[in-house]
A and B are shown apart, each in its own frame.
Chain A
Amino acid sequence: MSNVNRRVLPGFSLSLGYSVFYLSVLVLLPLAACFFRAGSLSFDEFWNAVWTERARAAYLVTFGSSFIAASINLFLGLLIAWVLVRYEFPGKRVVDSLIDLPLALPTAVGGLVYANLYVPTGWLGQYLVPMGIEAAYSRLAIVLVLTFIGLPFAVRTVQAVLEQVDVEPEEAAASLGATRWQVFRRVILPLLYPALITGFALTFARCLGEYGSVVFVSGNKPFDTEIAPVLIVARLEEFAYGEATAIAVVLLMISFSMLVLINVLERWSSRRAA
């Protein structure tokens, strides 16, 4: 097809040339500059920037909160996708659309409203704080807002696969005497494993880089509720560009490995689905 296309259809060199040019200028060269800048640091300078006690605490909070939020979303994603695909109830379409709200809602708005809901005088905080649940300016607040941010990723990944599941294996299992739980546990769930893992990885990757919402809800206390992107901004505001770049490179390496991992997972799951 493509050989014919290239001889007949116009604009191959123009469109490819322009996309590569725009991609290079806006994305690749700036990213390369970041690595180049980090490369100009000596190893000691780099190490002293990325492995301070404060930085280690920030990584721990970032990874820990993202991991917990992604795990919660793994469960919520399966539950919500199941209900949206398998059941009918009034208002289903509205709920289905609302799942995407965290994608459409600016993260700053999400952060602002979550910070305000769970303070002791807030709508939900007035009931939760007396019970000892402090979901504002704490690590719990970070997990909560990251769960909100990651929800659509988890739901949509599982939903797309669950919609494809055929009825035949379920019928076969049921006619062979399996209970409903056994059918779910032994037939449906294994089909969903790749999607669940991909959804988890996507949510985790999204949460790792999140800044806008966390900065509102966490209180940003070093060693306690400071995440890595906040630490980068703090370094920038001290005009410590080298240190900020070093931490940024660490984050970039992690997100690129997540990207590779997600790509591998997608290949694997599409091969399994085929």
Chain B
Amino acid sequence: MPPEASLKPEASLNQPISALAIRKPRIQQDPAWIRWGLTLIVLVVVGVLIVIPVVHVFSQALAEGVGVYWDNLFNDPDTLHSILLTLTVVPVALVANVLFGVAAAWAIARFSFPGRTLLTTLVDLPFSVSPVVAGLIFVLIFGRQGYFGPFLRSDGYSIMPYLFAFLGVVVLLAMYQLFRPTNPAARRGVWSYPWLVRLAGGAAVFALLVFVQQYFEVWPRNESLRIIFATPGLILATAFVTFPFVARELIPVMEATGADEELAAVSLGANGWKMFWRITVPNIKWGLAYGIILCNARAMGEFGAVYVVSGHIAGQTDTMPLRIEKLFQEYNLPGSFAVASVLTLLALVTLVLKAGLERQGIKKVDETVPAEFAAGERHGH
């Protein structure tokens, strides 16, 4: 095809404008037989690797009819329990990682400090750890032979008053940080001694919370607290493997938005809380949603890490993916595929939401695409 053909004005005038806009430049066009050949190969590869397995899950799950499918899901107490357990573990891990993600993105995208690059790299660290190793490290700490094992077994709950008092102090400090007046002129009285308020207030609240919990004997004494082979271990392992998702979606989004609007809000007198909800959240909401759905999909489906910490007690510590494996080992394939079909449906919903969000204008900031490429893509447009 002669390259000058595309330069002829009448050739382009005869075509509708929309077709011209979509059409790739002639020069980049491969011959038709290559185009169709390669497209066909891709369709076959995607078909064999991805489409057939998805279809297979549903056809196997429904092979013996809808009634059996329903029974497999909701009339098997262990399967039902695994669904409920997954629905308990995942939200807790998700909330913890969203809090971390927002905090880390705020610190990394808005401020410069020594170790900023290191922190950004460390956020990704859990992605490179094998899930089995992720489970193992928690067994080494909290397991029966682990570092805290003997303590947890003899009097594990005695840690709880301090833990909750600590959480209380963190919440209080966050409140103080967010609600104190931003304008230095308005900081009178207590507000003018921030470090004194933080230290004295924190210590007082800590002591008070510990005292209250001890006095009313909220927690049992001399009882063993199970973390491994119990729900807390499942939450820890799930939070570990899904740790980077929200943070690494939010950091580029926040960097791209820039701090101008927030600076304006603060200089007009908004406090941290108001600025966060009126400016920051609306700006990052799609990126946040993107991070949450990816994090959720991974958390629901996590297998290796929870496999190691769960102990496989049917009806107690089996999450949905572990239930799939147990049913598979018991040669209960319809049951196994029934649970698998629920998770597959979830994966498909995740993909649809993801595609929808990408069309909303969220740039593809995949976990798969290295941050540098994504950054290049952003600046390129």
Q: Point out residues on A near B: beta carbons under 8 Å.
A: 1-2, 4-6, 8-16, 18-20, 22-23, 26-31, 33-34, 37, 76, 79-80, 82-84, 86-89, 93, 95-110, 112-117, 123-124, 147-148, 151-153, 155-157, 160-161, 163-164, 167, 170-171, 174-175, 180, 195, 198, 202, 205, 208-212, 215-216, 229, 232-233, 236, 239, 241, 244-245, 248, 251-252, 255-256, 258-259, 262-263, 266-267, 269-270, 273-274
Contact = CB atoms under 8 A, between A and B. Distances in A.
Contacts of A153: 368
Contact of B122 (A28, A244, A248): A28
A113 B351 contact: no
B182 interface: yes
Given A10-B271, A33-B147, A270-B376, 11 more contacts: A10-B275, A27-B122, A104-B297, A104-B350, A105-B344, A106-B301, A115-B328, A117-B53, A212-B301, A229-B304, A255-B130
Given A104-B347, A106-B321, A248-B133, A212 B333 contact: no
B35 A174 contact: no
Interface stretch (B10-18, B151-159, B173-181, B217-225): B173-181
A236 B304 CA distance: 13
Contacts of A76: 45
B370 A262 contact: yes
Interface-central residue, B129, B322, B370, by most chain A CB under 10 Å: B370
Nearest to B333: A116
Contacts of B24: 86
Contacts of B272: 10-11
A164 B379 CA distance: 11
Interface string B224-248: 0000000000001001100100010
A14 B102 CA distance: 12
Contacts of B34: 180
A11 B178 contact: yes
7 contacts: A4-B263, A5-B263, A10-B266, A22-B103, A23-B104, A105-B347, A171-B27
Interface in B94-136: 96, 99-100, 102-104, 106-107, 110-113, 119, 121-126, 128-133, 136
A266 to B, nearest CB: 4
A21 to B, nearest CB: 8
A93 B352 CA distance: 11
A112 B352 CA distance: 23
Nearest to A188: B28
B46 interface: yes
Interface stretch (B64-72, B138-146, B202-210, B282-290): B138-146
B73 interface: no
Interface residues of B, number: 126
Contact of A101 (B113, B174, B336, B351): B351
A123 B56 CA distance: 8
A33 B141 contact: yes
Interface of B: 3, 22, 24-25, 27-28, 30-31, 34-35, 38-39, 41-43, 45-46, 48-54, 56-57, 60, 96, 99-100, 102-104, 106-107, 110-113, 119, 121-126, 128-133, 136-141, 143, 145, 147, 170, 173-174, 177-178, 180, 182, 236, 239-240, 243, 247, 259, 262-263, 266-267, 271-272, 275-276, 294, 297-298, 300-304, 307-308, 320-322, 324-325, 328, 333, 336-337, 340, 343-344, 346-348, 350-352, 354-355, 364, 366-377, 380
